[in-house]
Amino acid sequence: MSLHELQSRVNAWMSQWKDGYWTPHENLARLTEEVGELAREINHSHGPKKKKKGEGEGSIAEELGDIIFVVVALANSMDIDLDAVMDATFAKYNVRDKDRFERNE
């Protein structure tokens, strides 16, 4: 799946609904919620958190999917092209962080 297709599929999903895209603050709140669910799963699988009685199995992969979905919805709602964004992100790191960490020999 390409980023472009991903943005189209999210747009097709959002266009079904009368409300359409949420506001930036509402999408941010949803992203905060999904990152919170990822945090809970990581504390369960890689940390000290015990499941409450009756609490079902969660999945880090599922939470990453929810996070990517709302990030793409945010981008769509602001006409942001994620292909251009990711090219710029790699370019930024390749300059800014080229000496920031210890390299493999």
Residues that bind a second copy (CB under 8 A): 1-3, 6, 9, 13, 15-19, 22-26, 28-40, 42-43, 45-50, 52, 60-62, 64-69, 71, 74-75, 78, 80, 82-90, 92-93, 96, 100-104
Q: How far is the CB of 6 from a second copy (least distance, A)?
A: 6
Q: How far is the CB of 31 from a second copy (least distance, A)?
A: 6
8 A C-beta contact, residue 24 and residue 78: yes
Q: Which helix (H) or strand (E) holds 57?
A: none
8 A C-beta contact, residue 96 and residue 64: no
